Amino acid sequence: MAELVVALDFPDTDSALALARQLRGVVPWCKVGMELFCLAGPAVLTRLREMGFHVFLDLKFYDIPNTVAQAVRAAAQSGAELLTIHTQGGERMCREAVAAAAACERPPLVFGVTVLTSFGPGQMPGITKPPADFAGELAGMADSWQLDGIVCSGQEAAAVKGRHPRLRCLCPGIRPASASADDQCRIMTPAAAVAAGADYLVVGRPITRAADPLAAAHAILDEMHTC
Ligand code: C5P
């Protein structure tokens, strides 16, 4: 059963926690990204855990292997249960991140970003192949490097799950049929992403900017569960 993750992309802690209060007990996961983490720091992860959420820290680490391994340890100590690294950081970086996570007291899941869902064909610097092909190649590497999962578009999930059934797929770029794509490019509806085999659906603005965020979350959950 796919799980819903709400992306708490807010410019202040109070707004993020106010939304979390509305969604507690309804949406199982909160995602803390760069904006909120830079403002609020690790304390916001603790607050969300105390509210009963699973916490995903989405800082997309990309650095030399030692630096990333240390960051993974720090993220786990801060309460992250799932975190992201860039698969393009390469084999040594990815394997050291996985090893660092495994050695933690509460090992977080480590997911590798493949091709950001904001990229369309020809938009990724230096990459001429279609995003889906490149995401598929990176998924194969993530599988062989023992990552727990990958971040990809729902449009790529079926192919990835077909070739790499062990890998979990976390899919941003989720848009209900009537919603704006915003800056996302490779989008999918909640129902289509679930049908494609996505394990986690990440939704930000269609919930956070809705007039009634709780109703928007319920509508997405209903769509996910009727698949
Ligand atoms: O508002 P929206 O639903 O587009 O938010 C998507 C969230 O998922 C954002 O927080 C963004 O940083 C994150 N994300 C993404 N694409 C990726 C990885 C993460 O959109 N490949």
Report pLDDT digits (tens) over 53-89: 999 999 999 999 999 999 999 999 999 999 999 999 9
**Does the Cβ of 205 fall within 6 Å of ligand 1?**
yes
Residue 227 has pLDDT above 90, yes or no: no
Q: Considering the entire predicted model, what is its pTM?
A: 0.96
192: Cα within 13 Å, side-chain hemisphere: 14
Q: Whose CA is nearest to atom 3 of ligand 1?
A: 204
Q: What is the CATH number of the domain that holds 116?
A: 3.20.20.70
Indicate the DSSP class of residue 106. Answer: S
Ligand 1 atom at shortest distance from the alpha carbon of 115: 21
Can you state the percent helix, strand and coil of the chain, rounding each to 5? 45, 20, 35
- Burial tier of 88 (Cβ tally within 10 Å: 0-12, 13-18, 19+): middle
Read out DSSP for 165-219? TTSEEEE--B--TTS--TT--S-B-HHHHHHTT-SEEEE-HHHHTSSSHHHHHHH
Percent of the chain topping pLDDT 90: 98
**Per-residue pLDDT tens digits for 35-58:** 999 999 999 999 999 999 999 999
Ligand 1 centroid vs 126 CA: distance in angstroms?
Answer: 22
Residue 25 has pLDDT above 90, yes or no: yes
Q: How far is CA 215 from CA 5, 189, 204, in A?
A: 15, 17, 14
Q: Look-up: residue for tokens 């950081």?
A: 89
In the chain, the number of structural domains is 1
Cα–Cα dist 32/55, whole Å: 7
Which residue type is seen at 50?
Answer: E
* pLDDT at res. 173: 96
Other CB atoms within a 10 A radius of the CB of residue 141 amount to 17
* pLDDT at res. 107: 98
Banded pLDDT at 226 (limits 50, 70, 90): confident
Boundaries of domain holding 79: 3-225
* pLDDT at res. 95: 98
**Per-residue pLDDT tens digits for 200-212:** 999 999 999 999 9
78: Cα within 13 Å, side-chain hemisphere: 22
Mean pLDDT throughout 106-135? 96
Which of 29, 82, 117 to mutate to test ligand 1, by most ligand atoms within 8 A of the CB atom?
117
Strand ranges for the chain from DSSP E: 3-7, 29-32, 54-61, 82-86, 109-113, 149-151, 168-171, 200-203
Ligand 1 centroid vs 85 CA: distance in angstroms?
Answer: 14
